[in-house]
Structure 1
Amino acid sequence: MRTILLSIKPKYSKLIFDGSKKFEFRKIIAKKAVDKIIVYSSSPDKVIIGEVYVTGIVSMKKKNLWEFTKQYAGITEDEFFSYFDKNEVGHAYKLGKVEKYKNPKQLKDLGVEKAPQSFIYLDL
């Protein structure tokens, strides 16, 4: 199973675990297939709050991506197009089953020194 660690803003990470955000948008996706995402809730939280299984990856022109994902995007249309402003194509991890940790973990618990700008592969 291939796992990555993603830094996600707290307002969006909460939406993943309450089930209202089923797509995680990225300008760049992992080159290797990803089965699971470990969610690092970035500042001010700065903790790993859980994990989510990836059921697929969607890559398409951003207008089409918005139409395909908007019901479970977890972000507004303005936020979406602002994020992908300089990109012709957008990517999204399609999120499946989630597991929120009872006790959040620190990066060092996974042997990681600092939060990734985009993502890092984990050997778990």
Structure 2
Amino acid sequence: MRVLLSIKPEYAYKIFEGTKKFEFRKIRFKNPNIKTVVVYASSPVQKVIGEFEIEDILSFDPDRIWRITEKYSGISEAFFMNILQIEKLRTQSKLKVQPSIQNLSLSKMILMLIPRNLLSICN
């Protein structure tokens, strides 16, 4: 199952460059079957730039999360600590990057995700 996530461009591009292998989120997805994340780079890019698979989701105390992820976090420790104070971060996802979709507008991506039988109803 797929999910569409909006990620700031500076971090989204780091994912596909391989320098950011962890994506930090304050809560887990409600559906445990989500395995693929479609990345929408937010403003000013405003395009779907790729997708990645979730290799694992880790839930630990913040200090342990930082020790595990710091090398490929794509962020500074100061920024990580700031996130903690604002969002009470408890989980992060280990990414397996597969850049197979690139530079699509959000409207084109939505059309790709809608099942074909629903598209025929809409037309």
Q: What is the TM-score of this pair, normalised by structure 1? A: 0.82
Question: Which amino acid letter does the alignment assign opposite residue 23 of structure 1?
Answer: F
| 1:81 aligned partner | 81
| 1:96 aligned partner | 96
3-state DSSP class of the match of 2:30? Answer: coil
Cα root mean square deviation, aligned: 1.9
What is the CA–CA distance in structure 1 between the aligned matches of 2:9 and 2:87, rounded to whole Å? 24
Percent of aligned positions with the same letter in both sequences? 35
- Cα-to-partner distance string for 1:39-59 (whole Å, 9 max, x where unaligned): 000111010000011111011
Question: Which amino acid letter does the alignment assign opposite residue 39 of structure 2?
Answer: V
**Larger proportion of helix:** 2
The 1:98–1:86 alpha-carbon spacing in structure 2 relative to 1, beyond 3 Å, is same
Q: Which moved more, 1:38-47 or 1:85-94?
A: 85-94
Q: Per chain length, whose mean CA-contact separation is higher, i.e. which structure has more relative contact order (CA < 8 Å, sep 6+)? A: 1
Q: CA deviation at 1:81?
A: 1.0
Which one has a bigger Cα radius of gyration? 2
**Which 4+ residue blocks in structure 1 deviate beyond 4 angstroms?**
86-89
What is the aligned residue count?
A: 113
Listed as ranges, the gaps of 5+ residues in structure 2 are: 116-123
The 1:13–1:87 alpha-carbon spacing in structure 2 relative to 1, beyond 3 Å, is closer
- Cα-to-partner distance string for 1:36-89 (whole Å, 9 max, x where unaligned): 100000111010000011111011111111111111100000111111214555
Listed as ranges, the gaps of 5+ residues in structure 1 are: 113-121
**Larger proportion of strand:** 1
Q: Is the 8 A contact 2:16 2:97 kept in 1?
A: no
1:15 aligns with 2:18: no
Q: What is the TM-score of this pair, normalised by structure 2? A: 0.82
